[in-house]
Amino acid sequence: MAGPPRFRRSVPEPRRIIGAHHPPASTTPVTSGLVVLAATLALAAGCGKQKPAEGVVLTFPASAVGAEADLLQRQLGRFMADHPGIRVVRRETPDAADQRHQLYVQWLNAGASEPDILQLDVIWTPEFAAAGWILPLDRFAPDTAAFFPATMKADRWDGTLYALPWFVDVGMLYWRSDLFDHPPASLTELSDMAARARSDAGLPFGVVWQGARYEGLVTVFLEHIGAFGGAIIDDSGHVTVDSPAAIRALEYMRAQIDSTHNVPQAALTWHEEESRFAFQNGRAAFMRNWPYAVPLLEDTSTSKVAGRFDVAPFPGTPAGRPTAALGGSELAINANTGHPAEAYALIAYLTRPEQMLERAREVGQYPARPGLYEMPELANALAVNPATARRIIERAVPRPVTPVYTQLSSILQISLHRCLTGQQEPRAALADAARDMRRLLRKVGLSPEPDADAAR
């Protein structure tokens, strides 16, 4: 394929997105009457080290409430003080990722030149890149080696870099440190420890995770399939979700529900918050969730496990490796901006080490630069040990990097949920998913083997 296909859609499919610092909001559609507010930040006086462009206005979409909004306003103010010829206008957007995505698609599909800079969920980058909506960043020669490799993999499409990571989110295993003196080193040990907690400590649940039919289930499966040495789609673009490793992973997940009862049947309707409440109320020995839960679990006024838990990488098997689903936010440049150099200057500023440290300190978001995890300042900023956080992030794996990820995820969600609810056996469920995923990739011209299912 000479280049990435260009996808133009006037109305995107609804979606739930995992990977923000907080759990995703509901998929309430954006109405046609959505009002986009614009708030202009005050210019700060000061001299930059380089000659700035004169009279440039950059628009930056962002949340309008809470600590994140206050932090961004301070950082943008400092940027403008260093670049007195540039004014940054903060354009308010919905906090819900699906609503923000739909709004972006409306703007970009219409060829709008604003906003100049886009905050993307980690799984949107290839979609926007293939559509021609965001600019390649290689021309600016960013130091890609300074970021976690998984983030760079997620930010490239067709060999080209299109975004830089703003902060990292990652799946992790929460474990009861009052019941065990170490986290499980393998999936077998996780199962055994969960069973002991139920029998010896009387806990109703061994392990809780997100099993409802939505994006969260795919991230849970991603961590299990990595644990067994498999992948949903391999690095060459082949669908491998029906591989022996994938079948073993799904068999393990189902056995934890049906055979050992370590995972409750109720988890098949749960999202992040239901899982958190079960663990927070002392009803589970282990939980798979995102970092947002740490400070909530440490709140002694509401949590029964405050001071009695820790986090670790989700464990693997001898055939695989501990795996963590990658989430987080990226910064990209609108392909129609009139100010690409200035827009990149702002992205470079916001992803500098000092800004990432401040973001960790103020709102608890994990830096995307591994070098920062050796700095003592980060130990005072994060709710978990930086060395532990880095160890988990180093095991992060992006979800399939493809412009049609949302459609592939929807296919997989259906098959996974059918299996886990007992409607299909693992092998058959994954065979159906693989067939439909290959068919989709052929349809949009992204399959590395266009005739793979011709004989089926």
Find the CATH number of the domain harbouring 70.
3.40.190.10
Q: Which residue from 136, 159, 55, 85 is spatially nearest to 334, judged by alpha carbons?
A: 136
Which of 278, 308, 325 is a domain's end point?
A: 325
Domain membership flag for residue 161? yes
Domain membership flag for residue 343? yes
Domain membership flag for residue 441? no
On whether both 309 and 332 belong to a single domain, the answer is no
Per the CB < 8 A criterion, the answer to whether 157 and 357 are in contact is no
Domain membership flag for residue 319? yes
| Cα–Cα distance measured from residue 165 to residue 125, given in angstroms and rounded to the nearest whole number | 11
On whether both 235 and 294 belong to a single domain, the answer is yes
Beta bridge partner(s), residue 161:
156
For residue 444, give both structure tokens: 């949009």
| Cα–Cα distance measured from residue 36 to residue 117, given in angstroms and rounded to the nearest whole number | 15
On whether both 152 and 142 belong to a single domain, the answer is yes
Q: Which residue from 262, 310, 300 is spatially nearest to 283, judged by alpha carbons?
A: 262
On whether both 242 and 198 belong to a single domain, the answer is yes
| Cα–Cα distance measured from residue 327 to residue 291, given in angstroms and rounded to the nearest whole number | 10
Domain membership flag for residue 428? no
On whether both 143 and 186 belong to a single domain, the answer is no
On whether both 99 and 117 belong to a single domain, the answer is yes
For residue 192, give both structure tokens: 């055994």
Per the CB < 8 A criterion, the answer to whether 434 and 449 are in contact is no
Residues 6+ apart with CB under 8 A from 454: none
On whether both 247 and 199 belong to a single domain, the answer is yes
Q: What is the total count of domains within the chain?
A: 2
| pTM of the entire predicted model | 0.87
Would you give per-residue pLDDT tens digits along the chain (456 residues)? Answer: 333 333 333 333 333 322 333 343 333 333 333 333 223 222 222 333 334 456 899 999 987 678 899 999 999 999 999 999 999 999 988 888 889 999 999 999 999 999 999 999 999 999 999 999 999 999 999 999 999 999 999 999 999 999 999 999 999 999 999 999 999 999 999 999 999 999 999 999 999 999 999 999 999 999 999 999 999 999 999 999 999 999 999 999 999 999 999 999 999 999 999 999 999 999 999 999 999 999 999 999 999 999 999 999 999 999 999 999 999 999 999 999 999 999 999 999 999 999 999 999 999 999 999 999 999 999 989 999 999 999 999 999 999 999 999 999 999 999 999 999 999 999 999 999 999 999 999 999 999 976 544 444
Residue ranges making up the domain that contains 122: 38-169+326-397
Which of 380, 397, 414 is a domain's end point?
A: 397
Domain membership flag for residue 321? yes
| Cα–Cα distance measured from residue 315 to residue 175, given in angstroms and rounded to the nearest whole number | 12
On whether both 193 and 317 belong to a single domain, the answer is yes
On whether both 175 and 152 belong to a single domain, the answer is no
Which of 297, 325, 353 is a domain's end point?
A: 325
On whether both 371 and 356 belong to a single domain, the answer is yes
- DSSP classification of residue 204: S
On whether both 260 and 204 belong to a single domain, the answer is yes
For residue 367, give both structure tokens: 């830096």
Domain membership flag for residue 28? no
On whether both 104 and 212 belong to a single domain, the answer is no
Domain membership flag for residue 1? no
Per the CB < 8 A criterion, the answer to whether 285 and 207 are in contact is yes
